[in-house]
Structure 1
Amino acid sequence: MTMLEQILVENRAYFHPVVPLQPGKDKLVQLHFTQENRALTEDVLGNTNKFTDYINATLEKADARFGIGGYGEYRTIYSRSEIFGSAQGQSEPRRFHLGIDIWGKPCTHVMAPLDGFVHSFAFRESFGDYGAVIILTHQLDGYSFYTLYGHLSLASIKNLQEGARIKKGEVFAEFGIPQENGSWPPHLHFQIIKDLEGMKGDYPGVCRYSEKEKYLSNCPNPDMILCLNQFLPQENN
């Protein structure tokens, strides 16, 4: 266990919820987007409306407020966008997911899990990209790290400024609609990052499988902060 992971584990009880799930009242369901999910046909993935209908139907069937999953998952869904395709000189596409996705209704509030500052933000509007994205920087027990929030609404970044203080528990963003979140069904991509490697308003949320060890060591399991998997039905744990 790395120093950051140890600090996060020791502070689990301190973090504020990132989304407004009410344990005991709201249900949570795990969603998978690997090749084993036969419902995700090319027709569904190629049409954002159909993909959104699939997510909504899955949540409704489970009587769940949110769907969750994705960390360390090798996903076939990224075939829907060229930005995850093979880069120049490389034959391997990006398919390995480095964050946790929380699927729910548009405009769902996003709250800061702990005090921080706005490191950077951007609107990455290419099909399949983050759309509106915010990166916060934090200090915890003397350790600096970042949290990334992708697929937000444009309103989330409208009057934002780098360096702005964000207090623990503050509603500072919301889930975006497909027209402003990179053309995805409404959800939040949440990721913990040790080193941004000089990037601003962006960091890979998906990597090549051959690079997974490097990125996993830089992006610990987001549930160390989210603390949501404990609320999944027992059969999903």
Structure 2
Amino acid sequence: MREKAATLPNVQLEQGTVTSLLEENGTIKGVQYKTKTGEEMNAYAPLTIVCDGCFSNLRRNLCSPKVEVPSSFVGLILENCQLPHANHGHVILADPSPILFYPISSTEIRCLVDVPGQKVPSVSNGQMATYLKTVVAPQIPPELHDAFIATVDKGKIRTMSNRSMPAAPHPTPGALLMGDAFNMRHPLTGGGMTVALSDIVVLRNLLRPLTDMNDASTLCKYLESFYTLRKPVASTINTLAG
């Protein structure tokens, strides 16, 4: 998507790590960022879209973040096995929480086990392997059982916390939050990209008729409707994910 956008004549692609927002009299004027060589640069624009993901270090300037961690995903890659229904994702409604399987290549299947709570069994001392073998393995489809156990025995186990955060923006002249930096839900349904792309369409339609975006306060008031217009899709996806 980035490569596609970069081919457009009105797009200039600059890559770096944004370190801060540039603010002047309550208005966001742009960003400060570091290039690959470590050089600090400033970029200015009438509207800055902040979309730096679930670990955003910029969102605190633009919203009241209340990030919750209801569970964690334990990830494994199963090899040389077949799903009950080829080329489909599978959600197992297990106890105490769901298990997700989906193909990532002709020979590999990704497994994501939802483990409730903020603290998961330790991988390093073997508690996680025991949990996966005794609690999870008996509940998965028999076609996947042996490959699941083999992957656990190899110790190829990864964990990542699942985060949720309601949208609570502070309308700020010159800037707008989008994506996981703005609103998160449990990733089991894969709804994050759906919400983000829907938000992009809403924003595009709002910006399309504008010929001048240099009046920051007027633009900010105009874009407040973004938060209302995004709700039908975003709220539905968030509810399903919850």
- TM normalised by structure 1 equals 0.25
Q: Which has the higher contact order (CA 8 A, sep 6+)?
A: 1
